[in-house]
Amino acid sequence: MVQIVDAALADSAQRSGKWLACRPGCSQCCIGVFAITQLDALRLRHGLAQLELTDPRRAARVRERAGQAVARLSPEFPGDPATGVLDSSPEAAQRWNDFAPDVPCPALDPATGTCEVYEFRPILCRTFGPPIMDEGDLGVCELCFDGATDEQIAAAEMHPDPDNLEATLLKELESTTGLRGETIVAFALTR
């Protein structure tokens, strides 16, 4: 799955050319919580375990930021703070809209503006920036494609999962482990 998404990103980035503003240190998309799948959560935990082997101090800083975020977010978390799983009810969805728009991702190194577990980042992080269809609209990061025409944007559209592999993998994960539902990066990194 990750290889497919990364290949789609590389293709879209090539077609985007100068319009794609994403660079190391650009971290606007790393501010504010967002939902991730249990596949993403597993990949993040694996990445943090790898970081602990190669750079234990850096891994400890990530864990500390994640723990602080969980403590800050738990009282208003639109889900179960004991498990970190988001509630899928309409009421929780309404609460989600206003939930933690200013909280930085705990994987974000505040000094460099780069991701501490970049190789293991969630799918949403891998697809943010290039034009991607979302609910019938072609959306892009507000920093990218500034001044581009609709045709230039459409020409760079990214198709990250054309065969819907993620849904298949999520069903398999649920049936083999029981893990289900979405969470956020902070909870994923503290479990």
pLDDT tens-digit profile of 79-125?
Answer: 999 999 999 898 888 888 789 889 999 999 999 999 999 999 999 99
* Residues of the chain above pLDDT 70, percent: 100
pLDDT exceeding 90 applies to what percent of the chain?
Answer: 84
Q: What is the pLDDT of residue 92?
A: 87
Phi and psi at residue 159, to the nearest 5°: -120, 85
Mean pLDDT score of the chain, rounded to an integer? 94
pLDDT digits (tens, 9 = 90+) for 8-36: 999 999 999 999 999 898 999 999 999 99
**pTM attached to this predicted model:** 0.92
Give DSSP secondary structure letters for 30-67: GBS---B-HHHHHHHHHHHHHHHHH-HHHHHHHHHHHH
